[in-house]
Amino acid sequence: MEPLSRQLSNLSEERTITITPQCDKAISSVQ
């Protein structure tokens, strides 16, 4: 089993990949 910190970093990476396109759209609509 992976260390907890490893799992957390994997989770945050996946979340960043998921959220980034939405953030890009939000930033584009604001500008």
Average of per-residue pLDDT across 12-23: 72
Average of per-residue pLDDT across 7-25: 74
* In the predicted structure, residue 18 carries a pLDDT above the cut 80: no
The confidence score (pLDDT) of residue 17 equals: 66
Mean pLDDT over all residues of the chain?
Answer: 76
Alpha carbons 17 and 15: distance in angstroms, whole number = 5
* In the predicted structure, residue 6 carries a pLDDT above the cut 70: yes
Angle value at C-alpha 17, between 27 and 14, nearest 5 degrees:
145
Q: Is the pTM of this model over 0.75?
A: no
Alpha carbons 6 and 17: distance in angstroms, whole number = 17
Alpha carbons 26 and 20: distance in angstroms, whole number = 10
Angle value at C-alpha 16, between 6 and 26, nearest 5 degrees:
165
* In the predicted structure, residue 8 carries a pLDDT above the cut 80: no
